Amino acid sequence: MKIGIPRALGYYNYYPFWFGFFGSLGLEIVLSDKTTKKLVSDGSALVVSETCLPVKIYMGHVLNLLEKKGVDIIYSPSIQSIDHKIYNCSKLRGLPDLVRNVVKKDFLLIEPTLDKSEKNQGLYQYLYESVAPLGITDKKAIKKASKVGWAYQNNFTGMTRDGMHPIEAMETAIKGKVVIKSRKNNYPINIAVLAHGYNLYDNHVSMNIFKKLENLGVKAHVSESLSTEQMNEGLKVLNTNLYWANELEISGAAGSFMTNKNIDGILTLTAFGCGPDSLMVERITRYAKRLQKPLLNLTVDEHTGEAGFITRIEAFTDMLYRKKRANIVQNLNKQIKIDSDRQEVVYSRDTIVKV
Amino acid sequence: MQAEDNNIKANKERIVAFPQMGNIRIPVAAVLKAMGANLYLSPDNNKEALSLGTRHSTETVCLPYKLNLGNYIQALEGGANVLLMFSAPGTCRLGNYAKMAEAKLKELGYEFEFIVFDMYKGKFVEIVKKFSQATGNKSIPNAIKGIKLGLAKFDALDEIERKLFYLRPREIESGTAEKIYLSGRHSIDRADTVEEVKNAIQSTLDKYNSVKIDNNKEILKVHLMGEFFVLLDPFTNMNIEKELGLLGVEVERTIMLSDWTNQTLVPKWNKKTETHRQRAVRTAKKYLTRAVGGECIETVGDAVYAAECNVDGVVHVGPFNCIPEIVSQCILPNVSKQENIPVISLLMDEQTGKAGMITRIEAFVDLIRRQRKVRKTRIIQRKTMKNSLKTHSRVRIASR
């Protein structure tokens, strides 16, 4: 049996788990193609124009699976809350409902719900709902498969924590390997790039931002390389509590990176019309001012041009270079002054001795 | 003795203000006054508040926040030093707004005490507690008296408003019912006891009876639904009820203030009838199977319910960039198609012009009026067809 998973939204965070889980239950996963311009415009035609870019892209991927890949089972989970009263954004909570109402085709929609604020809607219920429509109801087998899934997911997390690019880590994890490379940081500038995985690692949305930064001699740090504890500490820096299900990867990471001396600047990438991000970015902006970290906020939608995007990144890195250079020069000047002061003291002693 | 004096002094210096939303000022002010608070009553939402709020908030934040912030700034400028705010989890961005507003206002250099009605905890107890904290009131009988008066005013306002919705499209001289409503609202505002509130309702209803109505006019019926704040605040929704009424449309608003207070304050075991939310969950099942926050499920459910009620159309309002309402806006076209009910979605922001909105409403009303005619003629046609068929068959039988 073939099960179609759109290469969007949750894919970028949970795919290794799904791969292990469905694979061990004998289901074949079909992924949609990578995001293209046509796919985005197909998706945007289905929903109202105010909808945020990631959801439009998701709809495009669903269409792609149904039309091009010949799949008639779509897996579209609804992650309601990840902890007691820590909810997701409405669009992600109602994602399967959106798909059902908007995509007018014949297909089987698998729509499991994970809601930790409810009593009976935990992980195993969620996994049960994920495969029950396909006729797999053996709870023991599901538990076993979930363990296999977690093994893949943990490998993936381990590699990203080590600093591997998440897409590369995903590919390695799916092969069942764990690769830990030794890394040397030879970059003059370090920037923290903060965004939700589905914006950052979708090369169509983020316009290959990692490659662009690399070309400018910038090392990009992402929230996936931080541990949950570090991100929780970061939330405290920003003086806030967890409110959104995916707040840690933006606010938490921002707080953590802002107190890190090795990070020269922070770049946030948000989709236009993203509700949670608009609030998180406001808070980050306020604290970046207080902690004196340079910050660039980039907002993208389906009309964003690449040229403007590059210009802003270049200008930002130029400013960081200049700031760094100025700092170095200032420090050198200070050092020289201190040295010369000392020398004067020495001279005066000498003269005293001579007298 | 001295301690008491100090207490009174402290109370005197505390001036309480709360954000505005349509009629909510009347009952809330009543509760606070009964508990002995000094009030700063900020004016109804207006352009100045909106532009103040817009200046000090990020662009993509929704309209209710901008207006709340504007209210706060106006209140602080007017001398208030205790601000009230609601916060609830699992809804939408609303849960963040209390903190955000507080940080922003502190950044602007104001000094004040911020009291958040945190709905994470209990509900009724929390409300009494926080009202007491705000007013410095310590007597529980006073608090209960105040809340009773407030609830009575909630109900009273709804009662006279419902009648206004009925009269507005039917009255011969347009504007008379509105005048009566406004004076009734004023007397409810001034009432100090539950008795006085009842009298105010009665006299207003009596006055309504004198309004001359046109019984032969064809009245369209429309359900108005959507996001809570925009629905209840006439400044934000540009008085859409009035505009629809003047076009000869009877409006039924799916959220009335008292429904909401009853739904949130009355404990679950004491609810006898199906609440609005329960009804929405039931009717929306075909389109939306889970609550996604905000009033999304209510909107979808109400649209289906409207189709069940056989009304002529549905007007859906919400603030621009409201996350739950975007979801419902995506789902509504499907509901409209499957349930065969016309739907118009109007999303408001600070840029929305009244003229454009009225044009859209007029076009919508024209369309539903036409559809009604078509339906009627179809029914008549069907009847005549049936009759002619009957006579036809009779003729045939006779000829045999």
| Closest CA relative to residue A90, chosen from B321, B158, B246, B358 | B321
- Residue range of the domain that includes B237: 219-362
Q: What is the pLDDT of residue A118?
A: 85
Output the pLDDT for position B3. 47
Kindly identify which residue of chain B lies nearest to residue A90, measuring between CA atoms.
B292
Least confident residue range of A281-295, B1-15, B44-58: B1-15
Q: Report whether pLDDT(A4) > 50.
A: yes
pLDDT band at B396 (very low <50, low <70, confident <90, very high): low
Cα(A197)–Cα(A54) distance, rounded to whole angstroms?
10
For residue B389, is it within any domain? no
Is the per-residue pLDDT at B149 higher than 60? yes
Domain presence at residue B370? no
Q: The tokens of B161 are what?
A: 């408003």
The pLDDT value given to residue A348: 58
CA distance B64 to chain A (A): 14
- Is B330's CB within 8 Å of A240's CB? no
CA distance A204 to chain B (A): 23
In a shared domain, residues B209 and B229: no
Query: Binning pLDDT at 50, 70 and 90, where does residue B385 land?
Result: confident
- Which backbone phi and psi does A35 adopt, to 5 degrees? -65, 130
Average confidence (pLDDT) over A306-317: 92
Q: Is A110 on the interface with B (CB under 8 A)?
A: no
Q: Which residues of B touch A283 (CB under 8 A)?
A: 100, 103
**Domains identified in chain B, total number:** 3
Q: Are residues B195 and B235 in the same domain?
A: no
Answer whether A118's CB lies under 8 Å from A83's CB: no
Do B192 and B260 have their domain in common?
Answer: no
Residue B400 has pLDDT above 60, yes or no: no
Least confident of A97-101, A161-165, B36-40: B36-40
Reported as a single tens digit per residue, the pLDDT across A185-214 is 788 899 999 999 999 999 999 999 999 999
Collapsing DSSP to helix, strand or coil, A266 comes out as strand
* Structure confidence by residue, pLDDT tens digits, B123-147: 677 777 777 777 777 777 888 888 8
C-alpha torsion sign, points A289, A291, A294, A299 = negative
Mean pLDDT over each residue of chain B, to the nearest integer: 86
Q: Would you call A268 an interface residue with chain B, using a CB distance cutoff of 8 Å?
A: no
Same domain, B20 and B91: yes
Closest residue of B to A270, CA-based? Answer: B60
In A, which residues are within 8 Å of B64 by CB distance? Answer: none
Residue A283: strand, helix, or coil: helix
Looking at residue B388, what is its pLDDT?
A: 80
B353 and B234 in a common domain: yes
pLDDT number for residue A275: 86
Task: Tell me the nearest-neighbour CA distance from A51 into chain B, angstroms.
Answer: 6
pTM above 0.80, yes or no: yes
The residue with greater pLDDT, A328 or B143, is A328
Pairwise CB contact (< 8 Å): A91 & B326: yes
Q: What CATH number does the domain containing B317 carry?
A: 3.40.50.11900
Structure confidence at residue B4 as a pLDDT band (50, 70, 90): very low
Q: Nearest by CB to A282, which of B58, B89, B326?
A: B58
- pLDDT over 70 (residue B162): yes
Q: How many CB pairs under 8 A join A and B?
A: 98
End-to-end CA distance of chain B: 110
- With a pLDDT cut of 90, the percent of chain B lying above it is 44
SS3 content of chain A, % helix, strand, coil (to 5): 55, 15, 30
B30 in a structural domain:
yes
* CB-neighbour burial class of residue A294 (10 A; exposed 0-12, middle 13-18, buried 19+): middle
Q: How far apart are CA B319 and CA B237, in angstroms?
A: 9
Per-residue pLDDT band for B69 (boundaries 50, 70, 90) equals very high
Nearest by CB to residue A85, choosing from B99, B120, B323, is B120
What does the pLDDT read at residue A76?
Answer: 95
ipTM, two decimals: 0.87
Q: Within this chain, do residues B236 and B208 fall inside the same structural domain, yes or no?
A: no
C-alpha to C-alpha distance for B17 and B114, rounded to whole angstroms = 10
Q: Does B207 lie in the same domain as B230?
A: no
Q: Which residue has the higher pLDDT, B130 or B215?
A: B215
Let me know if residue B388 belongs to a domain.
no
Structure tokens at B233: 């605040």
* Percentage of the residues of chain A whose pLDDT score is greater than 90: 71
CATH number of A189-328: 3.40.50.11900
The count of C-alpha atoms lying within 13 angstroms of the C-alpha of B191, restricted to the half-sphere facing its C-beta, is 29
pLDDT of residue B321: 84
What's the rounded Cα separation, in Å, for the pair A133 and A226? 37
Which of B120, B292, B331 is nearest residue A101 as measured by Cβ atoms?
B331
Is A25 a residue whose pLDDT tops 60? yes
> Does a structural domain hold residue B86?
yes
For A215-232, what is each residue's pLDDT tens digit? 999 999 999 999 999 999
Residue B249 lies in a domain: yes
Residue A161, judged by CB atoms within 10 A of its CB (0-12, 13-18, 19+), counts as middle
Q: Please give the share of chain A, as a percent, with pLDDT higher than 70.
A: 97
Between chains, do B296 and A94 touch, taking CB under 8 Å as contact?
yes
Confidence of residue B90 (pLDDT cuts 50, 70, 90): low
Within chain A, all domains assigned CATH 3.40.50.11900 are found at: 189-328
**Domain for residue B76, yes or no?**
yes
pLDDT tens-place string over residues B247-274: 999 999 988 888 777 776 666 666 677 7
Q: What is the pLDDT of residue B34?
A: 85
Residue B393 lies in a domain: no
Could you tell me if B188 and B310 lie in one domain? Answer: no
Mean pLDDT across chain A, nearest whole number? 90
pLDDT the model gives residue B270: 67
Q: In A, residues 63-92, which contact B (CB 8 Å cutoff)? A: 78, 80-81, 85, 87, 89-91
Instruction: Kindly state whether residues B225 and B210 are assigned to the same domain.
Output: no
Chain B interface disruption, residue of A47, A48, A62, A89, most B CBs within 10 A: A48
Dump pLDDT digits (tens) for A242-285. 888 889 999 999 999 999 999 999 999 999 888 889 889 989 99
Does any CB of chain B come closer than 8 Å to the CB of residue A107? no
Q: Which residues of B touch A98 (CB under 8 A)?
A: 327, 330-331
Q: Are A8 and A61 in contact (CB under 8 A)?
A: yes
Return the pLDDT at B10: 52
Same domain? B263 vs B177: no
Question: In terms of domains, do B211 and B226 share one?
Answer: no
How does DSSP classify residue B92? S
Q: Are B210 and B227 part of one and the same domain?
A: no
Contacts of A102 in chain B (CB under 8 A): 330-331, 334
* CA distances to A208, A218, B140 from A187, in Å: 19, 6, 66
